[in-house]
């Protein structure tokens, strides 16, 4: 990466800078390589550090870079394709029944947020079983999830359970039921403090929030809210999984009339 002079343009500097860096990443760097530090880079391009950071932030958002305080900025590997939804069978499955590697980190009875309670049809002060899980992928945690299960959905659940036995028991009861359908929504969010910690990110990091509604003949039996790292994850839906296209490989896409 030469000491590139930015030619004068009527395009924001940070945008042009991003393009230049993008090209450098494609041609001169390999995955895992460490970039020069921000002060040096800024000096090299003749811009203020804040301006350089604006470009780096964009590239991190797009999954091209990874920055860690006290360490440095490295070239990120391509995003992982992560199966969400119909993970094997054709008609969906209860959480915890697939081959995905989730790790349960807690379970409690708690009052869910109002919006969740509304979908579940529970009272605004009604306690529901709340299972907290973390999804691992290639040795990293890529998602956290809260599964909300009203007591009414699992009537056969034993009354007294040790904390360790609580989550498995709730999921076991769920699996015993006939899942009629599930539907999902995906939206952009920012990581809340506790999620950020488990995802090894700073609070406010961009995440993809996947909300799933599990339905049986009796109505909505459970709701889950899963929070995926947006920088490292590409969520895949349907059939055998992996759509091969990674978004950042489309930079040189030709314009269609």
Partner DNA sequence: GAGTGGTCTAGACCACCAG
Partner DNA sequence: TGGTGGTCTAGACCACTCA
Residues lying near DNA in the complex (CB under 7 A) are found at: 10, 12-15, 35, 37-40, 46-51, 53-54, 67-73, 202, 204
Does position 225 interact with a second copy (CB under 8 A)? The reply is yes
Q: Is 190:204 a contact under the CB 8 Å cutoff?
A: yes
Among the listed residues 114, 159, 160, 178, the single contact to a second copy using CB under 8 A: 114
The footprint of a second copy on residues 8-27 (CB under 8 A) is: 15, 18
239 is a contact residue toward a second copy (CB under 8 A): yes
| CB nearer a second copy, residue 34 or residue 115 | 115
Which positions from 26 through 65 interact with a second copy, judged by CB under 8 A? 58, 61-63
Nearer to DNA, 46 or 113 (CB): 46
Q: Which residues pair with 209 in a beta bridge?
A: 187, 227
Three-state secondary structure string covering 185-221: EEEEEECCHHHHHHCCCCCCCEEEEEEEEEEECCEEE
- Cβ nearer to a second copy, comparing 34 with 249: 249
CA 238, 244, 249, 255 torsion: positive or negative?
negative
Among 5, 10, 162, 257, contact with a second copy (rule: CB under 8 A)? 257
Which of residues 97 and 190 has its CB atom nearest to a second copy in the complex?
190
Query: With CB cut-offs between 5 and 8 Å by kind, which of DNA, a second copy, none does residue 78 bind?
Result: none
Q: Which residue has the tokens 């890529």?
A: 142
By CB under 8 A, name the one of 209, 221, 222, 226 that touches a second copy.
209
**Phi, then psi, of 228 in degrees rounded to 5:** -100, 140
Can you tell me the distance from the alpha carbon of 209 to that of 137, in angstroms, rounded to the nearest whole number?
A: 17
Which tokens go with 135? 């999804």
Q: Around Cβ 36, how many Cβ atoms within 10 Å?
A: 13
């Amino acid at each position: 990466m030469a000491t590139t002079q930015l030619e004068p343009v009527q395009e924001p500097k940070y945008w042009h800078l991003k393009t230049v860096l993008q090209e450098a990443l494609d041609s001169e760097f390999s995955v895992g390589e460490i970039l020069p530090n921000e002060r040096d880079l800024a000096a090299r391009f003749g811009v203020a550090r804040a301006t350089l950071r604006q470009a780096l932030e964009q590239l991190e958002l797009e999954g091209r870079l990874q920055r860690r305080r006290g360490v440095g900025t490295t070239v990120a590997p391509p995003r992982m394709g992560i199966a969400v939804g119909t993970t094997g069978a054709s008609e969906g499955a209860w959480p915890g029944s697939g081959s995905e590697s989730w790790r349960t980190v807690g379970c409690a009875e708690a009052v869910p947020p109002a919006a969740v309670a509304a979908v579940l049809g529970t009272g605004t002060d009604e306690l529901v079983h709340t299972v907290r899980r973390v999804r691992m992928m290639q040795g990293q945690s890529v998602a956290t999830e809260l599964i909300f299960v009203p007591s009414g959905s699992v009537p056969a659940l034993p009354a007294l359970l040790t904390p360790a036995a609580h989550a498995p028991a709730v999921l076991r009861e769920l699996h015993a039921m006939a899942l009629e359908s599930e539907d999902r929504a995906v939206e952009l969010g920012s990581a809340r403090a506790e999620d950020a910690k488990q995802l090894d990110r700073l609070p406010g990091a961009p995440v993809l929030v996947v909300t799933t509604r599990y339905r049986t003949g009796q109505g909505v039996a459970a709701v889950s809210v899963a929070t995926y790292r947006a920088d490292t994850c590409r969520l895949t839906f349907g059939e055998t999984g992996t759509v091969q296209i990674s978004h950042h490989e489309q930079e040189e896409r030709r314009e269609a009339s």
